[in-house]
Structure 1
Amino acid sequence: MLRIAVCDDEKKEHDLLKEYLPRLMKSTAYSFETQYFTCGEELLHYYNQQSSYPFHILLMDIELRGLNGIEVAKKIRAFPDREVQIIFLTNYPQYVMSSFDVQPFHYLIKPVDYECLEAKIIKLCNYIVSSVNRFLMIKTEDGHMVIKNSDIIAIVKIKHSLAKNRLKIITSTQHYIISGTISEYISKLNRPFMLIHRSVIVNLEHVHKFTATSVVMHNQEQFPIGRTQAKEVKEAYAYYMIAQFKERG
Protein backbone atom coordinates (compact mmCIF):
# COMPACT_ATOMS: atom_id res chain seq x y z
CA MET A 1 0.00 0.00 0.00
CA LEU A 2 1.27 3.46 -0.91
CA ARG A 3 0.36 6.50 1.19
CA ILE A 4 -0.68 9.61 -0.72
CA ALA A 5 -1.27 13.16 0.49
CA VAL A 6 -3.43 15.47 -1.62
CA CYS A 7 -2.91 19.15 -0.82
CA ASP A 8 -5.22 21.51 -2.68
CA ASP A 9 -7.43 24.38 -1.54
CA GLU A 10 -10.15 23.66 -4.11
CA LYS A 11 -12.90 21.23 -3.08
CA LYS A 12 -13.58 20.28 -6.70
CA GLU A 13 -10.01 18.96 -7.01
CA HIS A 14 -10.45 16.85 -3.87
CA ASP A 15 -13.72 15.49 -5.25
CA LEU A 16 -12.07 14.69 -8.59
CA LEU A 17 -9.19 12.80 -6.98
CA LYS A 18 -11.57 10.98 -4.63
CA GLU A 19 -13.14 9.62 -7.81
CA TYR A 20 -9.89 9.00 -9.74
CA LEU A 21 -7.71 7.27 -7.12
CA PRO A 22 -10.18 4.48 -6.18
CA ARG A 23 -10.78 3.97 -9.90
CA LEU A 24 -7.04 3.65 -10.40
CA MET A 25 -6.77 1.01 -7.65
CA LYS A 26 -9.31 -1.14 -9.48
CA SER A 27 -7.29 -1.08 -12.70
CA THR A 28 -3.79 -1.68 -11.26
CA ALA A 29 -2.04 -3.88 -8.70
CA TYR A 30 -1.37 -0.86 -6.49
CA SER A 31 -3.47 0.23 -3.53
CA PHE A 32 -3.49 3.65 -1.89
CA GLU A 33 -4.26 5.18 1.47
CA THR A 34 -5.03 8.84 0.82
CA GLN A 35 -5.30 11.85 3.12
CA TYR A 36 -6.58 15.24 2.01
CA PHE A 37 -5.34 18.67 3.10
CA THR A 38 -6.76 22.08 2.20
CA CYS A 39 -3.61 24.18 2.70
CA GLY A 40 0.12 23.82 3.00
CA GLU A 41 0.15 24.85 6.65
CA GLU A 42 -2.22 21.97 7.46
CA LEU A 43 0.06 19.49 5.68
CA LEU A 44 3.16 20.82 7.47
CA HIS A 45 1.38 20.61 10.83
CA TYR A 46 0.58 16.96 10.10
CA TYR A 47 4.24 16.31 9.23
CA ASN A 48 5.32 17.87 12.52
CA GLN A 49 3.07 15.49 14.48
CA GLN A 50 4.63 12.35 12.98
CA SER A 51 7.58 10.37 14.32
CA SER A 52 8.51 9.35 10.76
CA TYR A 53 7.81 10.68 7.30
CA PRO A 54 4.23 9.70 6.51
CA PHE A 55 3.80 9.70 2.72
CA HIS A 56 5.22 8.10 -0.40
CA ILE A 57 3.55 10.58 -2.78
CA LEU A 58 2.38 14.21 -2.55
CA LEU A 59 -0.15 15.49 -5.08
CA MET A 60 0.12 19.22 -4.40
CA ASP A 61 -1.31 22.36 -5.92
CA ILE A 62 1.31 25.04 -6.60
CA GLU A 63 -1.12 27.97 -6.28
CA LEU A 64 -2.16 27.40 -2.67
CA ARG A 65 -3.44 30.20 -0.48
CA GLY A 66 -0.93 31.13 2.23
CA LEU A 67 2.28 29.18 1.62
CA ASN A 68 2.34 28.11 -2.02
CA GLY A 69 3.13 24.55 -3.04
CA ILE A 70 6.78 25.22 -3.83
CA GLU A 71 7.33 26.86 -0.41
CA VAL A 72 5.63 23.90 1.30
CA ALA A 73 7.76 21.43 -0.67
CA LYS A 74 10.96 23.27 0.35
CA LYS A 75 10.01 22.93 4.03
CA ILE A 76 9.24 19.22 3.58
CA ARG A 77 12.60 18.66 1.86
CA ALA A 78 14.26 20.50 4.77
CA PHE A 79 12.79 18.12 7.40
CA PRO A 80 14.53 16.36 5.52
CA ASP A 81 12.06 14.10 3.68
CA ARG A 82 14.06 13.45 0.53
CA GLU A 83 12.21 10.28 -0.34
CA VAL A 84 8.65 11.52 -0.78
CA GLN A 85 7.79 11.92 -4.46
CA ILE A 86 6.00 15.14 -5.45
CA ILE A 87 3.63 15.65 -8.35
CA PHE A 88 2.61 19.29 -8.66
CA LEU A 89 -0.84 20.28 -9.85
CA THR A 90 -1.01 23.66 -11.57
CA ASN A 91 -3.04 25.90 -13.83
CA TYR A 92 0.11 27.69 -14.95
CA PRO A 93 2.90 25.75 -16.70
CA GLN A 94 5.33 28.68 -16.20
CA TYR A 95 5.73 27.61 -12.55
CA VAL A 96 7.53 24.46 -13.66
CA MET A 97 10.96 26.12 -13.96
CA SER A 98 10.82 27.60 -10.44
CA SER A 99 10.07 24.21 -8.81
CA PHE A 100 13.25 22.36 -9.82
CA ASP A 101 14.92 22.97 -6.45
CA VAL A 102 12.44 20.67 -4.68
CA GLN A 103 12.96 17.81 -7.16
CA PRO A 104 9.37 17.08 -8.19
CA PHE A 105 8.68 13.82 -10.00
CA HIS A 106 6.24 15.36 -12.48
CA TYR A 107 3.50 17.94 -13.12
CA LEU A 108 -0.17 17.70 -14.00
CA ILE A 109 -1.97 20.60 -15.63
CA LYS A 110 -5.45 21.33 -14.28
CA PRO A 111 -8.11 20.30 -14.88
CA VAL A 112 -6.53 16.88 -14.26
CA ASP A 113 -7.37 14.30 -16.90
CA TYR A 114 -7.87 10.73 -15.64
CA GLU A 115 -5.77 9.04 -18.34
CA CYS A 116 -2.90 11.45 -17.72
CA LEU A 117 -3.10 10.93 -13.96
CA GLU A 118 -3.20 7.16 -14.42
CA ALA A 119 -0.08 7.17 -16.60
CA LYS A 120 1.89 9.42 -14.20
CA ILE A 121 0.86 7.56 -11.02
CA ILE A 122 1.61 4.11 -12.47
CA LYS A 123 5.01 5.34 -13.67
CA LEU A 124 5.70 6.78 -10.21
CA CYS A 125 4.54 3.64 -8.36
CA ASN A 126 6.79 1.50 -10.56
CA TYR A 127 9.67 3.84 -9.79
CA ILE A 128 9.07 3.69 -6.03
CA VAL A 129 8.81 -0.10 -5.93
CA SER A 130 11.96 -0.48 -8.06
CA SER A 131 13.97 1.84 -5.78
CA VAL A 132 15.28 -1.11 -3.80
CA ASN A 133 17.79 0.93 -1.82
CA ARG A 134 15.09 3.19 -0.40
CA PHE A 135 11.91 1.12 -0.20
CA LEU A 136 10.95 -2.43 0.65
CA MET A 137 7.80 -4.14 -0.59
CA ILE A 138 6.39 -6.69 1.85
CA LYS A 139 3.33 -8.91 1.86
CA THR A 140 1.27 -8.95 5.03
CA GLU A 141 -2.15 -10.38 5.84
CA ASP A 142 -3.59 -7.01 4.79
CA GLY A 143 -1.94 -7.13 1.36
CA HIS A 144 1.19 -5.67 -0.17
CA MET A 145 2.81 -2.75 1.66
CA VAL A 146 5.64 -0.45 0.62
CA ILE A 147 7.72 0.80 3.54
CA LYS A 148 10.70 3.12 3.64
CA ASN A 149 13.96 1.42 4.53
CA SER A 150 14.78 4.37 6.78
CA ASP A 151 11.64 3.63 8.86
CA ILE A 152 12.72 0.05 9.60
CA ILE A 153 14.30 -0.37 13.04
CA ALA A 154 14.80 -4.14 13.00
CA ILE A 155 13.70 -7.42 11.42
CA VAL A 156 13.37 -10.27 13.90
CA LYS A 157 12.65 -13.97 13.51
CA ILE A 158 9.53 -14.94 15.45
CA LYS A 159 10.32 -17.81 17.80
CA HIS A 160 7.80 -20.49 18.72
CA SER A 161 5.60 -19.59 15.75
CA LEU A 162 3.15 -22.26 14.59
CA ALA A 163 3.99 -21.27 11.02
CA LYS A 164 7.56 -21.64 9.83
CA ASN A 165 9.64 -18.73 8.52
CA ARG A 166 7.73 -15.90 10.17
CA LEU A 167 9.38 -12.53 10.70
CA LYS A 168 8.43 -9.33 12.48
CA ILE A 169 9.40 -6.05 10.83
CA ILE A 170 9.60 -3.31 13.45
CA THR A 171 9.24 0.25 12.16
CA SER A 172 9.05 3.63 13.85
CA THR A 173 5.27 3.44 14.01
CA GLN A 174 4.14 -0.14 13.44
CA HIS A 175 4.97 -3.87 13.49
CA TYR A 176 4.37 -6.08 10.43
CA ILE A 177 4.23 -9.89 10.49
CA ILE A 178 5.44 -11.44 7.24
CA SER A 179 6.64 -14.73 5.80
CA GLY A 180 10.31 -15.05 4.98
CA THR A 181 13.74 -15.80 6.37
CA ILE A 182 16.44 -13.63 7.89
CA SER A 183 18.90 -14.69 5.17
CA GLU A 184 16.42 -13.70 2.47
CA TYR A 185 16.03 -10.18 3.87
CA ILE A 186 19.68 -9.50 4.68
CA SER A 187 20.42 -10.28 1.02
CA LYS A 188 17.87 -7.60 -0.03
CA LEU A 189 19.13 -4.89 2.30
CA ASN A 190 22.47 -3.09 2.14
CA ARG A 191 24.12 -0.90 4.79
CA PRO A 192 22.99 0.52 7.16
CA PHE A 193 21.26 -2.85 7.74
CA MET A 194 23.34 -5.48 9.49
CA LEU A 195 22.93 -9.01 10.75
CA ILE A 196 23.82 -8.87 14.45
CA HIS A 197 22.51 -12.31 15.43
CA ARG A 198 21.26 -15.31 13.48
CA SER A 199 17.69 -14.16 14.15
CA VAL A 200 18.05 -10.33 14.11
CA ILE A 201 18.76 -7.65 11.51
CA VAL A 202 19.05 -4.06 12.74
CA ASN A 203 19.19 -0.70 11.00
CA LEU A 204 22.33 1.07 12.27
CA GLU A 205 20.54 4.38 11.70
CA HIS A 206 18.30 3.58 14.70
CA VAL A 207 20.96 2.36 17.15
CA HIS A 208 20.85 4.21 20.48
CA LYS A 209 23.66 2.45 22.39
CA PHE A 210 25.49 -0.81 22.93
CA THR A 211 25.76 -2.92 26.07
CA ALA A 212 28.26 -5.72 26.58
CA THR A 213 26.02 -8.25 24.84
CA SER A 214 23.25 -6.33 23.12
CA VAL A 215 22.20 -3.27 21.16
CA VAL A 216 19.52 -0.83 22.32
CA MET A 217 17.53 0.90 19.58
CA HIS A 218 15.94 4.36 19.59
CA ASN A 219 12.55 2.84 20.42
CA GLN A 220 14.19 1.21 23.51
CA GLU A 221 13.89 -2.33 22.17
CA GLN A 222 16.97 -4.40 22.94
CA PHE A 223 18.41 -7.18 20.79
CA PRO A 224 21.24 -9.66 21.46
CA ILE A 225 24.49 -9.48 19.51
CA GLY A 226 26.03 -12.80 18.53
CA ARG A 227 29.41 -13.37 20.20
CA THR A 228 31.17 -13.84 16.87
CA GLN A 229 29.58 -10.69 15.44
CA ALA A 230 30.11 -8.22 18.32
CA LYS A 231 33.39 -6.68 17.10
CA GLU A 232 32.24 -6.45 13.48
CA VAL A 233 28.92 -4.82 14.46
CA LYS A 234 30.53 -2.15 16.64
CA GLU A 235 33.16 -1.36 14.00
CA ALA A 236 30.47 -1.11 11.30
CA TYR A 237 28.48 1.27 13.50
CA ALA A 238 31.56 3.45 14.09
CA TYR A 239 32.26 3.66 10.34
CA TYR A 240 28.60 4.42 9.68
CA MET A 241 28.60 7.32 12.18
CA ILE A 242 31.83 8.75 10.74
CA ALA A 243 30.28 8.66 7.26
CA GLN A 244 27.18 10.44 8.57
CA PHE A 245 29.25 13.20 10.18
CA LYS A 246 31.20 13.71 6.95
CA GLU A 247 27.97 13.89 4.94
CA ARG A 248 26.60 16.57 7.26
CA GLY A 249 29.79 18.59 6.90
Structure 2
Amino acid sequence: MINKIRTLVVDDEALARRGLIVRLQDFPQVELLDECQSARQALEKIIELKPDLVFLDIQMPGMNGFELLREVQARGAPLPLVIFVTAYDNYAIKAFDVRAIDYLLKPVDHERIARSLKRIENSLAQREQNTQQQRILNLLADATGEDCEAILKRLASGEDIGMARYPEHIAIKESGEITRVAINSIEWVDAAGDYMCIHACNETHILRRTMKELEEELNPKRFQRIHRSAIVNLEHVEKLCSRQNGEYHLVLKNGKELKVSRSYKDRIKKLILTS
Protein backbone atom coordinates (compact mmCIF):
# COMPACT_ATOMS: atom_id res chain seq x y z
CA MET A 1 0.00 0.00 0.00
CA ILE A 2 1.59 3.29 -1.10
CA ASN A 3 1.16 6.64 0.62
CA LYS A 4 -0.87 9.44 -0.87
CA ILE A 5 0.29 10.77 -4.22
CA ARG A 6 1.86 14.14 -3.44
CA THR A 7 0.80 16.25 -6.39
CA LEU A 8 1.54 19.62 -8.02
CA VAL A 9 -0.66 21.25 -10.69
CA VAL A 10 1.09 23.54 -13.19
CA ASP A 11 -0.83 25.62 -15.76
CA ASP A 12 -0.69 29.29 -16.73
CA GLU A 13 -4.49 29.39 -17.15
CA ALA A 14 -6.28 29.92 -13.83
CA LEU A 15 -9.53 28.32 -15.02
CA ALA A 16 -7.71 25.22 -16.28
CA ARG A 17 -5.91 24.84 -12.94
CA ARG A 18 -9.09 25.27 -10.97
CA GLY A 19 -11.03 22.79 -13.15
CA LEU A 20 -8.35 20.12 -12.75
CA ILE A 21 -8.04 20.69 -8.99
CA VAL A 22 -11.81 20.34 -8.57
CA ARG A 23 -11.73 17.00 -10.41
CA LEU A 24 -8.76 15.78 -8.37
CA GLN A 25 -10.76 16.33 -5.19
CA ASP A 26 -12.78 13.25 -6.18
CA PHE A 27 -9.66 11.08 -5.69
CA PRO A 28 -8.75 10.55 -2.02
CA GLN A 29 -5.34 9.10 -2.96
CA VAL A 30 -4.24 12.52 -4.25
CA GLU A 31 -2.66 15.06 -1.88
CA LEU A 32 -2.50 18.46 -3.56
CA LEU A 33 0.69 20.23 -2.47
CA ASP A 34 0.28 23.44 -4.46
CA GLU A 35 -0.66 24.98 -7.79
CA CYS A 36 1.66 27.00 -10.04
CA GLN A 37 0.84 29.52 -12.74
CA SER A 38 4.24 29.39 -14.46
CA ALA A 39 7.07 26.99 -15.14
CA ARG A 40 9.49 29.24 -13.20
CA GLN A 41 7.29 29.03 -10.13
CA ALA A 42 6.90 25.28 -10.63
CA LEU A 43 10.67 24.81 -10.86
CA GLU A 44 11.18 26.18 -7.34
CA LYS A 45 8.22 24.20 -5.98
CA ILE A 46 9.45 20.93 -7.49
CA ILE A 47 12.90 21.43 -5.95
CA GLU A 48 11.42 22.46 -2.59
CA LEU A 49 8.51 20.01 -2.23
CA LYS A 50 9.77 17.02 -4.27
CA PRO A 51 6.27 15.95 -5.40
CA ASP A 52 5.52 12.42 -6.58
CA LEU A 53 3.43 13.70 -9.48
CA VAL A 54 3.07 16.87 -11.56
CA PHE A 55 0.10 17.61 -13.81
CA LEU A 56 1.94 19.80 -16.31
CA ASP A 57 0.74 22.08 -19.09
CA ILE A 58 3.07 22.20 -22.10
CA GLN A 59 2.57 25.63 -23.69
CA MET A 60 3.34 28.33 -21.12
CA PRO A 61 4.99 31.74 -21.53
CA GLY A 62 8.67 32.05 -20.68
CA MET A 63 9.39 28.36 -20.25
CA ASN A 64 7.32 25.45 -21.57
CA GLY A 65 6.74 22.12 -19.87
CA PHE A 66 9.59 20.31 -21.62
CA GLU A 67 12.05 23.08 -20.75
CA LEU A 68 10.89 22.93 -17.14
CA LEU A 69 11.76 19.23 -16.88
CA ARG A 70 15.18 19.82 -18.43
CA GLU A 71 15.85 22.59 -15.91
CA VAL A 72 14.83 20.33 -13.01
CA GLN A 73 17.39 17.78 -14.21
CA ALA A 74 20.02 20.49 -14.68
CA ARG A 75 19.52 21.54 -11.04
CA GLY A 76 20.21 17.95 -9.95
CA ALA A 77 16.73 17.54 -8.43
CA PRO A 78 14.78 14.27 -8.70
CA LEU A 79 12.28 14.24 -11.53
CA PRO A 80 8.67 13.64 -10.45
CA LEU A 81 6.29 11.49 -12.44
CA VAL A 82 4.57 13.65 -15.07
CA ILE A 83 1.14 13.73 -16.64
CA PHE A 84 0.98 16.33 -19.42
CA VAL A 85 -2.33 18.19 -19.68
CA THR A 86 -2.68 20.25 -22.86
CA ALA A 87 -5.13 21.46 -25.46
CA TYR A 88 -2.90 20.22 -28.28
CA ASP A 89 -2.34 16.64 -29.43
CA ASN A 90 0.78 17.31 -31.55
CA TYR A 91 3.11 17.03 -28.53
CA ALA A 92 2.17 13.46 -27.62
CA ILE A 93 5.22 11.71 -29.10
CA LYS A 94 7.63 14.20 -27.55
CA ALA A 95 5.83 13.86 -24.21
CA PHE A 96 6.46 10.13 -24.09
CA ASP A 97 10.04 10.68 -25.23
CA VAL A 98 10.61 12.41 -21.87
CA ARG A 99 8.96 9.43 -20.15
CA ALA A 100 5.69 11.08 -19.23
CA ILE A 101 3.28 8.65 -17.59
CA ASP A 102 0.31 9.97 -19.54
CA TYR A 103 -0.87 12.69 -21.92
CA LEU A 104 -4.29 14.21 -21.34
CA LEU A 105 -6.18 16.52 -23.68
CA LYS A 106 -8.25 19.36 -22.23
CA PRO A 107 -10.95 19.31 -21.07
CA VAL A 108 -10.13 16.26 -18.96
CA ASP A 109 -12.94 14.07 -17.68
CA HIS A 110 -13.17 12.00 -14.47
CA GLU A 111 -12.71 8.61 -16.11
CA ARG A 112 -9.56 9.69 -17.96
CA ILE A 113 -7.99 11.06 -14.77
CA ALA A 114 -8.85 7.82 -12.97
CA ARG A 115 -6.98 5.77 -15.58
CA SER A 116 -3.97 8.07 -15.35
CA LEU A 117 -3.86 7.89 -11.57
CA LYS A 118 -3.98 4.10 -11.73
CA ARG A 119 -0.85 4.19 -13.87
CA ILE A 120 0.77 6.51 -11.35
CA GLU A 121 -0.08 4.18 -8.47
CA ASN A 122 1.42 1.22 -10.34
CA SER A 123 4.56 3.20 -11.14
CA LEU A 124 5.01 4.38 -7.54
CA ALA A 125 4.43 0.85 -6.24
CA GLN A 126 7.12 -0.48 -8.60
CA ARG A 127 9.48 2.29 -7.53
CA GLU A 128 8.92 1.42 -3.86
CA GLN A 129 9.52 -2.27 -4.58
CA ASN A 130 12.77 -1.43 -6.37
CA THR A 131 13.85 0.73 -3.44
CA GLN A 132 13.14 -2.07 -0.96
CA GLN A 133 15.05 -4.56 -3.12
CA GLN A 134 18.04 -2.22 -3.24
CA ARG A 135 17.97 -1.84 0.55
CA ILE A 136 18.00 -5.63 0.92
CA LEU A 137 20.86 -5.91 -1.58
CA ASN A 138 22.86 -3.33 0.36
CA LEU A 139 22.29 -5.23 3.61
CA LEU A 140 23.40 -8.47 1.95
CA ALA A 141 26.46 -6.73 0.55
CA ASP A 142 27.41 -5.43 3.99
CA ALA A 143 26.90 -8.86 5.54
CA THR A 144 28.68 -10.95 2.92
CA GLY A 145 31.38 -8.59 1.70
CA GLU A 146 30.22 -9.03 -1.92
CA ASP A 147 29.10 -6.23 -4.19
CA CYS A 148 25.46 -5.92 -5.27
CA GLU A 149 26.10 -7.05 -8.84
CA ALA A 150 27.76 -10.27 -7.67
CA ILE A 151 24.84 -10.99 -5.33
CA LEU A 152 22.32 -10.45 -8.14
CA LYS A 153 24.23 -12.89 -10.38
CA ARG A 154 24.25 -15.52 -7.64
CA LEU A 155 20.53 -15.06 -7.01
CA ALA A 156 19.82 -15.32 -10.75
CA SER A 157 21.72 -18.62 -10.88
CA GLY A 158 19.72 -19.99 -7.94
CA GLU A 159 22.55 -19.97 -5.43
CA ASP A 160 21.96 -19.45 -1.73
CA ILE A 161 23.30 -16.21 -0.33
CA GLY A 162 25.12 -17.11 2.84
CA MET A 163 25.06 -14.43 5.51
CA ALA A 164 28.70 -14.57 6.49
CA ARG A 165 29.21 -13.79 10.16
CA TYR A 166 32.72 -12.74 10.92
CA PRO A 167 34.13 -13.33 14.43
CA GLU A 168 34.62 -10.41 16.81
CA HIS A 169 37.72 -12.01 18.34
CA ILE A 170 40.49 -14.32 17.23
CA ALA A 171 42.10 -16.84 19.59
CA ILE A 172 45.90 -16.90 19.45
CA LYS A 173 47.91 -19.57 21.30
CA GLU A 174 51.29 -18.35 22.49
CA SER A 175 53.67 -19.90 25.04
CA GLY A 176 50.99 -22.15 26.47
CA GLU A 177 48.47 -19.30 26.78
CA ILE A 178 45.48 -18.40 24.62
CA THR A 179 44.95 -14.71 23.98
CA ARG A 180 41.68 -13.37 22.63
CA VAL A 181 42.44 -10.46 20.31
CA ALA A 182 39.60 -8.19 19.23
CA ILE A 183 39.30 -8.18 15.44
CA ASN A 184 38.64 -4.41 15.43
CA SER A 185 41.94 -3.81 17.21
CA ILE A 186 44.01 -5.53 14.51
CA GLU A 187 45.87 -2.85 12.55
CA TRP A 188 47.74 -5.03 10.06
CA VAL A 189 48.94 -8.56 9.51
CA ASP A 190 52.14 -9.69 7.82
CA ALA A 191 53.42 -13.15 7.00
CA ALA A 192 56.76 -14.46 8.21
CA GLY A 193 57.51 -17.91 6.85
CA ASP A 194 54.92 -20.43 8.03
CA TYR A 195 53.33 -18.10 10.60
CA MET A 196 51.83 -14.60 10.76
CA CYS A 197 52.37 -11.54 12.88
CA ILE A 198 49.14 -9.97 14.14
CA HIS A 199 49.76 -6.32 15.04
CA ALA A 200 47.14 -4.94 17.44
CA CYS A 201 47.23 -2.25 20.18
CA ASN A 202 51.03 -1.85 20.03
CA GLU A 203 51.49 -5.60 20.50
CA THR A 204 52.52 -8.31 18.07
CA HIS A 205 50.99 -11.79 18.33
CA ILE A 206 52.28 -14.86 16.50
CA LEU A 207 49.60 -16.93 14.76
CA ARG A 208 50.44 -20.28 13.16
CA ARG A 209 48.02 -20.22 10.29
CA THR A 210 48.19 -19.45 6.59
CA MET A 211 47.35 -16.03 5.21
CA LYS A 212 44.52 -17.53 3.15
CA GLU A 213 42.95 -19.19 6.22
CA LEU A 214 43.01 -15.94 8.19
CA GLU A 215 41.73 -13.90 5.26
CA GLU A 216 38.59 -16.07 5.11
CA GLU A 217 37.79 -15.12 8.72
CA LEU A 218 38.15 -11.37 8.17
CA ASN A 219 35.42 -9.13 6.77
CA PRO A 220 36.61 -7.98 3.32
CA LYS A 221 34.72 -4.72 3.81
CA ARG A 222 37.27 -3.90 6.50
CA PHE A 223 40.38 -6.01 5.86
CA GLN A 224 42.14 -5.91 2.51
CA ARG A 225 45.26 -7.55 1.12
CA ILE A 226 47.81 -4.87 0.14
CA HIS A 227 50.64 -7.24 -0.62
CA ARG A 228 51.10 -10.95 -1.20
CA SER A 229 52.11 -11.25 2.45
CA ALA A 230 50.24 -8.37 4.13
CA ILE A 231 46.67 -7.50 5.12
CA VAL A 232 45.59 -4.13 6.52
CA ASN A 233 42.56 -2.97 8.51
CA LEU A 234 41.19 -0.04 6.47
CA GLU A 235 39.74 1.57 9.59
CA HIS A 236 43.29 2.12 10.86
CA VAL A 237 44.50 3.76 7.64
CA GLU A 238 45.35 7.46 7.85
CA LYS A 239 46.35 8.11 4.23
CA LEU A 240 47.71 6.68 0.98
CA CYS A 241 50.96 8.20 -0.29
CA SER A 242 52.73 7.90 -3.63
CA ARG A 243 56.52 7.98 -3.96
CA GLN A 244 58.62 9.42 -6.79
CA ASN A 245 59.57 5.89 -7.86
CA GLY A 246 55.89 5.05 -8.43
CA GLU A 247 55.45 3.03 -5.24
CA TYR A 248 52.47 3.50 -2.95
CA HIS A 249 52.53 3.32 0.83
CA LEU A 250 49.72 3.25 3.37
CA VAL A 251 50.27 5.32 6.49
CA LEU A 252 48.40 3.96 9.52
CA LYS A 253 47.04 6.11 12.33
CA ASN A 254 49.91 4.93 14.54
CA GLY A 255 52.45 6.23 12.01
CA LYS A 256 53.39 2.81 10.59
CA GLU A 257 54.03 2.77 6.81
CA LEU A 258 53.16 -0.27 4.72
CA LYS A 259 54.07 -0.80 1.08
CA VAL A 260 51.23 -1.50 -1.37
CA SER A 261 52.18 -3.83 -4.21
CA ARG A 262 51.34 -2.78 -7.77
CA SER A 263 48.77 -5.55 -8.21
CA TYR A 264 46.69 -4.23 -5.28
CA LYS A 265 47.29 -0.49 -5.83
CA ASP A 266 44.14 0.37 -7.85
CA ARG A 267 41.79 -1.58 -5.59
CA ILE A 268 43.22 0.01 -2.44
CA LYS A 269 43.00 3.50 -3.96
CA LYS A 270 39.32 2.92 -4.78
CA LEU A 271 38.54 1.58 -1.30
CA ILE A 272 40.30 4.49 0.40
CA LEU A 273 38.36 7.01 -1.70
CA THR A 274 34.97 5.39 -1.04
CA SER A 275 35.36 4.43 2.63
Q: TM-score, length-normalised on structure 2?
A: 0.47
Bigger Rg, structure 1 or 2: 2
Out of 90, 96, 103, the residue aligned to residue 107 of structure 1 is: 103
The answer as to whether partners of 1:128 and 1:135 remain within 8 angstroms in 2 is no
The aligned residue for residue 31 of structure 2 is: 32
Q: Structure 1 residues 193, 102: closer, same or farther in 2, change over 3 A?
A: farther
Q: Structure 1 residues 194, 43: closer, same or farther in 2, change over 3 A?
A: farther
> In the aligned structure 1, how far is the partner of 2:139 from the partner of 2:82?
27
State the one-letter code of the partner of 2:13: E
The answer as to whether partners of 1:4 and 1:33 remain within 8 angstroms in 2 is yes
The alpha carbon displacement at 1:78 in A equals 3.1
Out of 58, 61, 64, the residue aligned to residue 60 of structure 2 is: 64
The answer as to whether partners of 1:59 and 1:89 remain within 8 angstroms in 2 is yes
Mapped pair 1:16 → 2:19: yes
More moved, 124-133 vs 85-94: 124-133
> In the aligned structure 1, how far is the partner of 2:92 from the partner of 2:64?
13
The aligned residue for residue 124 of structure 1 is: 120
Q: TM-score, length-normalised on structure 1?
A: 0.51
The answer as to whether partners of 1:77 and 1:102 remain within 8 angstroms in 2 is no
The answer as to whether partners of 1:60 and 1:89 remain within 8 angstroms in 2 is yes
> In the aligned structure 2, how far is the partner of 1:194 from the partner of 1:39?
45
Q: Which runs of 5+ in 2 are unaligned?
A: 144-183, 185-217, 224-233, 236-266
Per-residue CA deviation, residues 15-50 of structure 1 (Å, 9 max, x unaligned), is 12222222111xxxx3424311110000112345x3
The answer as to whether partners of 2:69 and 2:79 remain within 8 angstroms in 1 is no
The answer as to whether partners of 1:196 and 1:229 remain within 8 angstroms in 2 is no
The answer as to whether partners of 1:86 and 1:106 remain within 8 angstroms in 2 is yes
> In the aligned structure 2, how far is the partner of 1:58 from the partner of 1:100?
15
State the one-letter code of the partner of 1:10: E
Alignment size in residue pairs: 154
More moved, 54-63 vs 38-47: 38-47
Mapped pair 1:189 → 2:189: no
Q: Structure 1 residues 116, 47: closer, same or farther in 2, change over 3 A?
A: closer
The one of the two structures with greater contact order (alpha-carbon pairs below 8 A, sep at least 6) is 1
The alpha carbon displacement at 1:60 in A equals 0.3
1:61-210 aligned at under 5 Å gives the runs: 61-81=57-77, 83-135=79-131, 189-191=135-137
Q: Which runs of 5+ in 1 are unaligned?
A: 137-186, 198-212, 214-226, 243-249
The alpha carbon displacement at 1:8 in A equals 0.5
The aligned residue for residue 172 of structure 1 is: none
